Structure 1
Amino acid sequence: MDALLGTGPRRARGCLGAAGPRSSGRAARTPAAPWARFSAWLECVCVVTFDLELGQALELVYPNDFRLTDKEKSSICYLSFPDSHSGCLGDTQFSFRMRQCGGQRSPWHADDRHYNSRAPVALQREPAHYFGYVYFRQVKDRSVKRGYFQKSLVLVSRLPFVRLFQALLSLIAPEYFDKLAPCLEAVCSEIDQWPAPAPGQTLNLPVMGVVVQVRIPSRVDKSESSPPKQCDQEVGAEVEAELRGCFRPVLTHVQTLWELVLLGEPLLVLAPSPDVSSEMVLALTSCLQPLRFCCDFRPYFTIHDSEFKEFTTRTQAPPNVVLGVTNPFFIKTLQHWPHILRVGEPKMSGDLPKQVKLKKPSRLKTLDTKPGLYTAYTAHLHRDKALLKRLLKGVQKKRPSDVQSALLRRHLLELTQSFIIPLVRHGAEFPHAGSPTPNQTPPQIRPFSQEDFLRSLEHAGPQLTCILKGDWLGLYRRFFKSPHFDGWYRQRHKEMALKLEALHLEAICEANIETWMKDKSEVEVVDLVLKLREKLVRAQGHQLPVKEATLQRAQLYIETVIGSLPKDLQAVLCPP
């Protein structure tokens, strides 16, 4: 994928200041949907500060008429500050993801389906969760009673554009914190002038005197099979680009972690700080590209979260979630979880990154547990030693991190594709449709047979495209029980059903309508008109993959059929 973000020449320095009266900003907008363009990118901007009496407190929400529930406000407050164990001084950027609790849905979301139909699955808008992108500053300040200035600027969005919004925060937050100027309204007004996110297009987004250039990948983009060309100002807007530094201490276990994520296993990531936690969780969940990650994930999670009891209960099996935390208390609370990845501050062993060790869960006993992957899981596939050697050699030779990231991302992409291709090939045969007539319904899709698929692996398995050896059969058997197989099959079934319906519509439009209508009753003809209109509406709403010429033929087809009916029926079907 080639989501690019670059900053153009700086046209002006500093914060833009107030943008004038609030009413003048709304004058050019449609009254029915204020801030519609803004909400195409962001839900709101929040400022969270530390209050001596209240603790973390929501100081500001902008636009100020955006409504958050009390539970959402509480979650944002706690998730926007590092845990007290982290001890983050200076500036820290990290991300979180929280459940939406029934608050406001901004006006843009009526068009979610149009955007999601064109965006890759990893970049689609979240229907029930908020992403929070945080810029936290903690510095000594004698003018404050506590002795420290502690504040977070948070962008709340339903879009997983991690690097884009982090880059945006790096522009906005430092000047906001340094000057505490009323510039958020100006910045939000600028964002409210941006074009909507458009997969496949390069957009120029002006903000604070800088032009941010971003390209959101399209679903029809071809995956790169080689590292992309790099330039100084290219930054990926997608989550999967974040594989640079966080995987360095776990390179020897990348394939084991890939299998755990593929199978939707509960995985706890304990990190020293929220930036390391969120980066690792986002990197893990992006390992399955182009497969949709169908489980829950929390890049940063605290004991104050409203779902703490839900995730830590011992009365049922751990949920299918990748959970990023910084508080060592979670080791004791979640000792029953089958897989725990403990990562520390990056360390070197000579000129190589120190690798975490694979350890049994029984070793997980104390709050000062050493870094390691604590699991009883045995990987089904053998380790790719050639890749590991190449990556470690790249570290020794100080190969650019972008190139290292591209090598690892390409390996994981090819591994996932090799795993998926046999599944797609096995379910790709369309049922025989024959020569459909206008009143026929599309043929039904044959169900996916797991046993037939497993028997086909001997001659059409992943070994055709992947050199890795191992128990592929056992891996597929476990995959069939995971949320990711269910999610893949539902999506695949939906796509095939739409494709069949589109082919059926094209076949109908090519049929001889006059011949068909000769012996049909008025009821059958009216039924055809209603069905065709329904198909046409769906096709025009980008739900059916049909050509423009087919849509025009379908409209002409409907007009021809209606014209053959008595005047009274024509008046009913085509009211003035």
Structure 2
Amino acid sequence: MDPLSGAGPRRARGRLGAASPGARAAAAPWARFSAWLECVCVVTFDLELGQALELVYPSDFRLTDKEKSSICYLSFPDSHSGCLGDTQFSFRIRQCGRQKSPWHAEDWHYNSGAPVSLQREPAHYFGYVYFRQVKDSSVKRGYFQKSLVLVSRLPFVRLFQALLSLIAPEYFDKLAPCLEAVCSEIDQWPAPMPGQTLNLPVMGVVLQLLPFALQVHVPSRVDRPEHSPPKQCSHENLLPAPVVLTSVHELDLFRCFQPVLTHVQTLWELMLLGEPLVVLAPSPAMSSEMVLALISCLQPLKFCCDYRPYFTIHDSEFKEFTTRTQAPPNVVLGVTNPFFIKTLQHWPHILRVGEPKMSGDLPKQVKLKKPSRLKTLDTKPGLYTTYSAHLHRDKALLKRLLKGLQKKRPWDTQTALLRRHLLELTQSFIIPLEHYMASLMPLQKSITPWKTPPQIRPFRQDDFLRSLEHAGPQLTCILKGDWLGLYRWVDGRRFFKSPHFDGWYRQRHKEMAQKLEALHLEAICEAQNIETWMKDKSEVEVVDLVLKLREKLVQAQGHQLPVKEAALQRAQLHIETVIGSLPKDLQAVLCPP
């Protein structure tokens, strides 16, 4: 069974977390469930232990002790937050070096079509939390405190928050049977296929409720950045109209950035350069939303630095991130405990936001302040940094957004304006890099069938910087400022030292190398003179050609090379022709019975 295809027999299941012996023998149990989620956790408050892991489903999913501890501490708001009622937020933790499960071998099937910013995380887990704290006299401590947590390697914050808002209230009322039913339904979902609209039924007849459905469009690499909402598909008469999510990941950017609108471009620059930043917010919800909004500023460029939407003093990386013996790491931390102001005073950039406040009918903006003023635990909201932005502020956009707020323009329209502005900034910055990188690709006419393909020329930073004079961002963006300085900053070529450049360059070089291999394979397939080539070649050289052709075929058939099926068939004929020219004993070695 293809672990991501959704095909194969239904897995038998008994009580919560149990499975039949036959199901356990399957090649990839829980494959369809794991295409979306790694596991579901329930975290409760124990009077003796504090936060404790009450349940993991499926029960045979293995979490390390460190992962369990992190999930427990990060699933409850900090005591300073004082969150009563229901709260949703998210966190991100490192996987602890465990080998991948069998179904993860098919990650490429999804990743090959997904935008880089939406690919599965290879080394981190996302935790999507629904926390409830309400007064309960039947509990010794006087409060019911529990979190339902979805653990996934997919950055689908909007989808999983919507899913939690459906299932968590039901779970808190009905507990284990409800969770078992929901997981059974998720185990029937089709895999997340980029570019397709999927219907994901949840909360069905098992709960004796009218079933809901989440209709989502998983974007693909070829989608326009702002695609239109998907058309609603036809449904059975028994199903109500679906809850339509036009995006699985995009936040309400304008709502998140309301208090920092005047500093959005400065924050975009800090994100682009991979600068360490602490976001101190009054609640995990505000903390995680602000961090996720900040890292989304760079789309379609992948955010390659570390980031933690919600981080506590109990995190296993606390000492690593707070040490003063070395420079702060390239990470964006979202915190709620004021203790971090004192602990992280040496960090170059700290953004403190409070509860949303209005100045008249406009959102009150945080002020730009020097880090030297960050001395006490009751410091006022502000962006504490010595960084000076390279680009001039787009006053026209700011005026338009604030005017739209006064006129009660729809929030999704406000978000679209802000997102388009950030997208134009990122694309203007990246396009010169893309053009220069393309110039390093060997010409197609230099690729010949029977010679090793030429190499991609090295990226020379000085050559690129010289190219900016006639092919820089000023050609595609009306925004004025020191674009050149943004690439190399005063203390060295800052962007080129950032994880973002390294991640972008590795991805583009990999894609170009695959294209080069594909062009070489096509040149071999289209060659008409293979017999002529073999005349003066030794048996060793001929056998080497067979092995290399087979290797290229395996790569191409594994979708690692963009080659047409007809070309692959011609390559197979070439292999058969070459093998047929060899002595019988070698033929037997190369084509064993």
Aligning the two structures, in what range does the TM-score lie when normalised by the shorter sequence?
A: over 0.9
1:562–1:573 contact (8 Å) kept in structure 2: yes
Match of 2:328 in 1: 318
For residue 149 of structure 1, report the CA deviation from its aligned partner. Answer: 0.4
Picking from 34, 42, 45, the partner of 2:40 is: 45
Displacement after TM superposition at 1:520 (Å): 1.9
Change (3 A) 1:501 1:346: same
- How far 1:179 sits from its partner (Å)? 2.7
State the 1:178 CA deviation.
Answer: 2.1
2:183 to 179, 183, 188: 188
The answer to whether the aligner puts 1:509 opposite 2:519 as a matched pair is no
| CA 287–227 in structure 1, closer or farther in 2 if over 3 Å, else same | farther
Residue deviations 1:147-182 (CA, integer Å, cap 9, x gap): 110000000011111111111111110011123352
Answering whether residue 496 of structure 2 is matched by residue 480 of structure 1, we say yes
Shift of 1:114: 2.3
Task: Tell me the distance in 1 between the aligned counterparts of 2:15 and 2:145.
Answer: 29
Residue matched to 1:459: 470
Paired residue secondary structure (1:87): coil
Alpha-carbon distance between aligned partners in 2 of 1:228 and 1:22, rounded to the nearest angstrom? 37
1:317-376 Cα distance to aligned partner (Å, 9 max, x none): 000000000000000000000000000001111111111110111110110111100000
Partner amino acid for 1:35? W
Letter in 2 for 1:489: Y
- Bigger mean CA offset, 161-170 vs 423-432: 423-432
Q: Which amino acid aligns with 1:447?
A: P
Q: Once structures 1 and 2 are overlaid, which stretch shifts more, 565-574 or 433-442?
A: 433-442
Q: Distance in 2 between matches of 1:125 and 1:424?
A: 24
**CA offset at residue 287 of structure 1?**
0.7
Match of 2:135 in 1: 140
CA change 1:463–1:518 in 2 (3 A) is: same
1:223 is matched by which residue type in structure 2? Answer: P
Aligned equivalent of 1:217:
219
Give the Å deviation of 1:103: 4.2
SS of equivalent to 1:475: helix
2:574 equivalent to 1:563: no
Deviations 1:393-427 (A, max 9, x none): 11111111111111111111111001000011012
Partners of 1:240 and 1:455 in 2: how far apart?
36
Q: Name whichever of 457-466 and 26-35 sits farther off.
A: 26-35
1:411-490 paired onto structure 2 within 5 Å = 411-429=421-439, 430-432=441-443, 434=445, 436-477=447-488, 478-490=494-506
d(CA) in 2 for partners of 1:473 and 1:24? Answer: 60
RMSD of aligned alpha carbons:
2.0
Alpha-carbon distance in structure 1 between the residues aligned to 2:161 and 2:96: 25
With over 3 angstroms needed to count, the CA separation of the structure-2 counterparts of 1:467 and 1:286, relative to structure 1, is same
Match of 2:316 among 297, 303, 306: 306
Q: Indicate the SS of the match to 1:132.
A: strand
1:12 corresponds to which residue?
A: none
State the partner residue of 1:5.
none
Identify if the C-alpha distance between structure 1 residues 104 and 47 changes in structure 2 by more than 3 Å, giving closer, same or farther.
farther
Contact 2:16 2:180 in 1 (8 A): no
Q: Deviations over 1:480-528 (max 9, x none)?
A: 2222111111111111111111111111111122222222222111111
Structure 2 counterpart of 1:111, from 106, 109, 128: 106
Which residue is equivalent to 2:491?
A: none
Q: Which has the higher contact order (CA 8 A, sep 6+)?
A: 1
What aligned pairs does 1:167-246 form with structure 2 within 5 A after superposition?
167-208=162-203, 209-224=211-226, 233-246=243-256
Alignment partners' CA distance in 1, 2:338 and 2:453: 56
Corresponding residue for 1:66?
61
**Deviation, structure 1 residue 20:** 6.3
| Alpha-carbon distance between aligned partners in 2 of 1:541 and 1:244, rounded to the nearest angstrom | 42
- TM-score normalised by L of structure 1: 0.93
TM-score (norm 2): 0.91
How high is the sequence identity, in percent, across the aligned residues? 86
How far, CA to CA, are the matches of 1:41 and 1:328 in structure 2? 35
User: 1:219 offset after TM fit, Å?
Assistant: 1.5
Distance 1:471 1:485 in 2: 19
Q: Which moved more, 1:322-331 or 1:64-73?
A: 64-73
Unaligned runs of 5+ in 1: 1-17
Worse-matched range after superposition: 106-115 or 372-381:
106-115
Which deviates further from its counterpart, 372-381 or 98-107? 98-107
Question: Which of residues 245, 269, 274 in structure 2 aligns to 1:264?
Answer: 274
Q: Distance in 1 between matches of 2:19 and 2:279?
A: 48
Check whether the contact 1:258–1:287 (CA below 8 A) recurs between aligned residues.
yes
Q: 5+ residue gaps in structure 2? A: 1-12, 204-210, 233-241, 489-493
- Would the aligned equivalents of 2:216 and 2:248 in 1 still touch at CA under 8 Å? no
Other structure's SS at 2:384 match: strand
Could you tell me how far apart the structure 1 residues matched to 2:16 and 2:269 are? 55
User: In 2, distance between residues paired with 1:356 and 1:203?
Assistant: 41
Provide the C-alpha distance between the structure 2 equivalents of 1:548 and 1:30, rounded to a whole number of angstroms.
35
AA paired with 2:423?
L
Matches of 2:555 and 2:228, distance apart in 1: 39
Aligned length: 558
Q: Which of 247, 250, 264 matches 2:260?
A: 250
* Equivalent-residue separation in structure 1 for 2:220 and 2:140 (angstroms): 51
C-alpha distance 94-397 of structure 1, shift in aligned 2 (>3 A): same
User: How far did residue 574 of structure 1 move?
Assistant: 1.3
What CA distance in whole angstroms lies between the structure 1 residues aligned with 2:108 and 2:510?
A: 14
Encode CA deviations 1:407-451: one digit per residue, 9 max, x unaligned.
111111111001000011012022235454433222111111211
Deviations, residues 125-154 of structure 1 (Å, cap 9, x unaligned)? 111111000000000111111111000000
